[in-house]
Amino acid sequence: MRTILITGLLLLAAACSGNKPKETSSADPGAIIGEVGDPRARARSHTDLAAAYYQRGSLGVALDELRIATAADPGYAPAHNLLGLVHMDLREESLAAESFQRALSLAPNDGDINHNYGLFLCRTKREPDSIKYFMQAIKNPLYSTPARSYSAAGVCTLRTGQPKEAEEYFVRALRLQPDDPQALLNLGQIRYKQGRMDEARRLVAQYNKLDAGDAESLWLALRIERKSGQRVAEQSFANQLRRRFPGSAEYQALQRGNFD
């Protein structure tokens, strides 16, 4: 979800006007005609507006706002952080890396920036490098969402084929945030593979309560009940998977009888 990626500061953005930016002044590329305030205030205002557009999925408009923000104050780290997220979503990897690195040079201990750069590294198949940035985020005592960084570290560690290490990250995430969805589902998968069906069932049931489940969680729940010999429950999850996600890879695996 985009919302959890945005810095704590950007999450304070108001609903903001839906209007596109007004014409900029030729004298000051970071100013809007009729706009007042110092460069940092202008940068913050346009970054907040960009955050609102970003959450709506309007990446092009968000990019325009961020260009105004960074022109107004090139030293405003949150603007470069959000710019990195926008470029990451646009799959412009070199520009995303440049923006995140600029943000980190300005605020090297910022938890949100470290977390987001860790996500970028993980998504670009540099999983081992991502972990140190998640851990750097967690070290900051002012960082308000350490659970999400533990959970992200677990996902990235799983991708490197280290389930035991990933398990430790998910357990830490759930100690801090018992309803962290990513940690619940992934730890449930690990417990299933370990043959710990009661715990796997509890974790996936807690996950499914959060948003009525998805194809991946219903498929896991189905396989747990199958392994446990609970045919009625297994059939119930099969029916939900067929009804709600008939085009999913999980339902296709069910049709083939490919349970593991």
Choices 1.20.120.450, 3.40.50.300, 1.50.10.10, 1.25.40.10: CATH for 1-107? 1.25.40.10
Confidence of residue 18 (pLDDT cuts 50, 70, 90): very low
* pLDDT one-digit tens code per residue, 94-125: 999 999 999 999 999 999 999 999 999 999 99
Plot region of 180 (φ>0 → left; ψ -120 to 50 → alpha; else → beta): beta
Q: What is the pTM of this model?
A: 0.82
Angle between helices 127-139 and 111-123 (to 10 degrees): 170
Whole-number Å distance between alpha carbons of 119 and 74: 23
Q: Where are the domains of the chain?
A: 1-107
Q: What is the pLDDT of residues 136-164, one digit of tens each?
A: 999 999 999 999 999 999 999 999 999 99
- Under the banding of pLDDT at 50, 70 and 90, the label for residue 6 is very low
